[in-house]
Amino acid sequence: MLLKSVGQLITLRAMPSNDAHFPDPDLRRTFQQRLLRWYARHRRDLPWRKTSDPYKILVSEVMLQQTQVDRVIPKYKEFLRKYPSIGELAGASVRDVEATWRPLGYNIRPVRLHAIAKDTVRRRGGKLPDSLEELQALKGIGRYTAGAVMSFAFRKDAPILDTNVMRLLHRVFLGPGHPKRSKVLRHLWDLSAALIPKGRGYDFNQALMDFGALVCTARLPGCSTCTMRQICLSYPWTPDRNSRNRTGRPRRSVKEGSS
């Protein structure tokens, strides 16, 4: 099964990275199974994983934009102690909300969050919308944050693509290179959606983020013990290889190894 997948992966490797082709079902299953098995053992214990309240999950996702998890955790707790519901956030003054947010930085975020709270209370009786389109229509909520809220609060199989997920999917399925070109990004969004095992969007997306943050890191990925190394087109990843291949196109063969 795996060898067949690797063979098909080699076919995928020969295609341009922006080609709208996906790994075959066997390879997708291998990736899903390995990722979820890894996640069951190594998942991070994060406070926003203990709730399904869309408001609290939105607060965590907005805080996590451009900010490290370690810095977000204490501020997330403090913020929710002060504004435990979307109604209480809407009723606060924007100055107070901005002051509570400090020193996280990127200070347009609390202003937008406050505006979302006010709008949600005024027009929706305090209930955040449960569709990607309506969430993205709110100022300050982009495609990633909408996908995260759909997935983590409403338990829908919605794709996500933050920096960690982008890097992981690019390295495994497209090879070394830079995932920021717009055509590649479109492909990675499609790939992120196609990979979700039906009904497992919550765990799968959390697992993608944890794996990208803990194993397939930007500068020092743990390739030598990585559970994906047998199917990963970037194994073993090195900074040199990445910087030499700026086309975003993989150019090396898949290495075999035990999982």
Q: Which residues are catalytic?
A: 61
> What is the smallest separation between the CB atom of 163 and ligand SF4, expressed in angstroms?
14
Q: Residue 208 and residue 9: Cα distance in Å, rounded?
A: 20
Cβ–Cβ < 8 Å for 9, 235:
no
Q: Is 204 in the site for ligand SF4 (CB under 6 A)?
A: no
Nearer to ligand SF4, 135 or 188 (CB): 188
Q: Which of 133, 196, 116 is nearest to 161 (CA)?
A: 196
- The answer to whether the peptide bond before residue 221 is cis (omega within 30 degrees of 0) is no
Q: Which of 155, 159, 160, 184 is nearest to 171 (CA)?
A: 184
Nearer to ligand SF4, 161 or 232 (CB): 232
> What is the smallest separation between the CB atom of 258 and ligand SF4, expressed in angstroms?
13
Q: Is 171 in the site for ligand SF4 (CB under 6 A)?
A: yes
Q: Is 184 in the site for ligand SF4 (CB under 6 A)?
A: no
Rule CB under 6 A: which of 213-242 touch ligand SF4? 215-216, 221-223, 226, 228-229, 232, 234-235, 237
Give me 255's structure tokens: 């290495």
Taking the alpha carbons of 168, 173, 177, 182 in that order, is the dihedral positive or negative? negative
Q: Residue 154 and residue 131: Cα distance in Å, rounded?
A: 9
Nearer to ligand SF4, 188 or 226 (CB): 226
Q: Is 172 in the site for ligand SF4 (CB under 6 A)?
A: yes
Q: Residue numbers of the site for ligand SF4 (CB under 6 A)?
A: 171-172, 215-216, 221-223, 226, 228-229, 232, 234-235, 237
